[in-house]
Chains A and B, each alone.
Chain A
Amino acid sequence: MPPVVEHVELDKKPQKPRLGGGGPGKIPHRWGFGGGDDGDYGHHEDFVSRRDRLRRYRVAMVITIVSVTALFVGVTTVYFLRGTHGPWDPVEKTYLENWQPVILPYRILIINTVVLLLSSITLELGRRGLLKKSEFVSMGIRPPKLQTEFPWIAITALLGFAFLAGQIIVWHSLRAQGLYLASQNPNSFFFYLLTGLHAIHLSGGLLALLISLFGSWLKLRFDSQQIAVDVTGWYWHFMGVLWLYIFVLLRFAM
């Protein structure tokens, strides 16, 4: 058996596939530059690491969105199962029919929808502006503040608050119909559960927006602010789509 030749340039000669997993050596590849940097040490300021960091956070955001989707899939499944027929009553020997229709306050709901979709547009404008600026920063131009994007993000946050306020009005109008969370009517508590979970998730996005807005006071670096706005943008659009889904579900299933 010929001896192993140590330290050979790899691309010179194709390797034979072996059993140890991985097969022959194709060395260079596209992903992964190693190293982490939102920890306590080590900041790379160079172009590659910033782009890499942005991509990493975007991947994490996509995975987060998958997880939130799973949560809502769980709730929707229960909603449909309860909707197809009521539960079995062993005493009366019959299926219970306690599924009563809910009169949705459409006007406020539609205004809310428009507000949320508008906020998606404003945030997208801010996100794109910041992304462009961050390219300049990576070319060595001094880090700017959020000056020009500040209004877009602030408007988004305000619209987000307006949406939440609108949801509170919706809940009040349901209470006026005598529909509470504590209820025998499944339609009623599913409405509160779905809209409430959505509102809680949206509040998380609002918090992230506020943190990136006031990031300069929190000593956040420009990079981190830009990344925060970028991934929150993705999340925010997802919240908009999720809201449309919930609205359609409530409209047609109730």
Chain B
Amino acid sequence: MGTTKPTAQGLLRRYVFTTDHKVVGLQYFFLSLAAVLVGTFLSLLMRIHLVWPQAAIPFLGQIKPENYLAYLTIHGTLMVFFVLSTVPQNGFGTYLLPLQLGASEMALPRLSMAGFWITLLSFFVLIAAFFAPGGASLAGWTQYPPLSAVPSAGPGQGTGTDLWLVSIGLFCVASVLSSINFITTTLKMRTRGMTLMRMPLTCWTWFVAAILILLAFSILLAAVIMLLLDRNAGTNFFVPANLLISGHAVDHQGGSPLLWQHLFWFFGHPEVYIAILPGMGVTSHLLSVFSRKPVFGYKAMVGAILAIGFLGFMVWGHHMFVSGMNPYAGFAFSSLTTAIAVPSAIKVFNWLGTLWGGRFRFTTPMLFSIGFVSLFITGGLTGPILAQPALDAYLHDTYFVVAHFHLIMAMAGLFAVFAATYFWFPKMFGRMMNSTLGSAHFWVTFFGAYAIFMPMHLLGIAGHPRRYSELTGVQYVAAMAPLQQFITAAAIITICGQLLFLINFFWSMFKGAAAGANPWECTTLEWTLPSPPPREGFGNQSPLVYQGAYEYSVPGASKDFLMQDSTATPQ
């Protein structure tokens, strides 16, 4: 809608400081690509250090224990904040949400732009910590006080931790701004006929994830402000009494470090769903497209998304079973946590139901979606195990936990991102990605993910603690060295395998086969536009929606599917 007068703008207004949601989405995408490259490089350094602690890395020298902890902190922070909560939600969401709803812009385009630039600033502040005196923070992405609250606690705990907190504070603001925009867009910008129950499931997941972001990141912002005040203004929210650091008493008095854990995990657990919900949406969408069947149980899917979002706010205590909490509280958190298995199982059941009897097209995005389901089940099965306080007392802070959250959050989330990239690449750049390279990339990553993380379960059950840079002289840990070497080898191969993706991505951007408007024969509205879509989106012609989002294999239809704006009536 609106008069689309041609815009006489410079390149700067068009591609850099732009309110065009499509460009902002791509900006988020490339920011996450940069973050994932740095984060992966750090994980490679950590894996090498775990196996060859004495090895000298070119340009970096030998990795000292404090360097290892700094890498661990920044790896976690980059991957959780700048990759898993940025690209599925803000990257693909900003690009596709208006198009899928039939709108030409986000509800508040300038807020999109502001959100991106604050996120970028936050990214630079985080990376700057490496160059601060003492290096980056050592306290892990969870930043538990008192380690994070007292500057004298370690080399990275001075400026490095302040920069971490400022960076995450900025990230909170940016995320909240962007989520306000997502919710408003979903509520107010749907085109005529696009009822809530006709939205693609991707839109549902972006909508619910935005609600989670709105509440969770506001709480994290409050916590970050309080921790910053503790560090710099002499308040005592989180620093316990009579704390000795290296034999010196700290003057803080009488705060409670557990308060931080409560606030952090009240954010941290919904954050897991912020990362994975859009991935679930993408998977539901793609499984339906490539098995040419309607999503099995659309309404149940919507219900499960809402239930996961709702329950996600009630289970934060399961991260704190060993903090000395009341056993009754532990019981409540444990029951609520296992309750999340119900909507998760509904989703898995419906994905399998969607696949059942489908006419498959094994394209690269389809492979990655099936990979997502596989990893989600594998990673999910260890969830109810860790949700038992008694089992968690043993498994807490071991590699078992590392394996669990990497499989379900990191790997499954990343598979959904890959699926979405291969799937929407033709829409974004007007060219197809190479499917041979894509399949090769899938198989390397799929087997790589299992080869890296399955053995970690064994390490955890055998009692290998996480976060240590080196455990020399511990008999039972030394016996696990061969398994660690195997994991490192698998990690190196898998990371090299990602070059297939990068080569495919940048090569296809310029040289890929031209894609038509609707190469995958998909029903949703973004495929009614040419690829890539013009600046003004739908322009004056707001589409009218007559169909649900998943009308595949419609009996008697000429093309086996009905676009959402098709006026056809099957009889």
Contacts and interface: CB of A to CB of B under 8 A. Distances in A.
Given A63-B180, A82-B256, A34 B569 contact: no
- The listed residue with most B CB atoms (<10 A of its CB), out of A70, A72, A77, is A70
Nearest to B109: A39
B2 A29 contact: no
Contacts of B570: 4, 15-16, 18
Most chain B CB within a 10 A radius of its CB, from A2, A21, A27: A21
B526 interface: no
A77 B267 CA distance: 14
Nearest to B297: A19
A6 B2 contact: no
Interface in B1-56: 1-5, 7, 9, 13, 18-20
A189 B236 contact: yes
B556 A4 contact: yes
Contacts of A75: 222, 226
Interface string B202-228: 000000000000110011011101100
Nearest to B543: A34
Mostly helix, strand, loop or mixed at chain A's interface? loop
Contact of A74 (B191, B218, B554): B218
Given A7-B568, A74-B218, A38 B194 contact: no
B184 A18 contact: no
Nearest to B237: A78
Contacts of A36: 2, 98, 103-109, 189
Interface string B106-126: 111111000000000000000
A118 B219 CA distance: 31
B542 interface: yes
Interface centre among A10, A35, A197 (most CB of B within 10 A): A35
Interface string A9-38: 010010110111111011111011111111
B190 interface: yes
A59 B187 contact: yes
A5 interface: yes
B240 interface: yes
Contacts, number: 275
Nearest to B241: A89
A37 B105 contact: yes
A249 interface: no
B295 interface: yes
Contacts of B229: 181, 189, 193
B69 to A, nearest CB: 25
B259 interface: yes
- Residue from B20, B106, B107, B523 with most neighbouring chain A CB atoms (10 Å): B107
Given A4-B571, A23-B197, A35-B104, A71 B218 contact: yes
B355 to A, nearest CB: 15
A236 to B, nearest CB: 18
A217 interface: no
Contacts of B485: none
Interface centre among B181, B226, B548, B556 (most CB of A within 10 A): B548
12 contacts: A2-B556, A4-B557, A4-B570, A6-B567, A21-B548, A34-B102, A35-B103, A43-B2, A66-B214, A89-B240, A193-B225, A197-B225
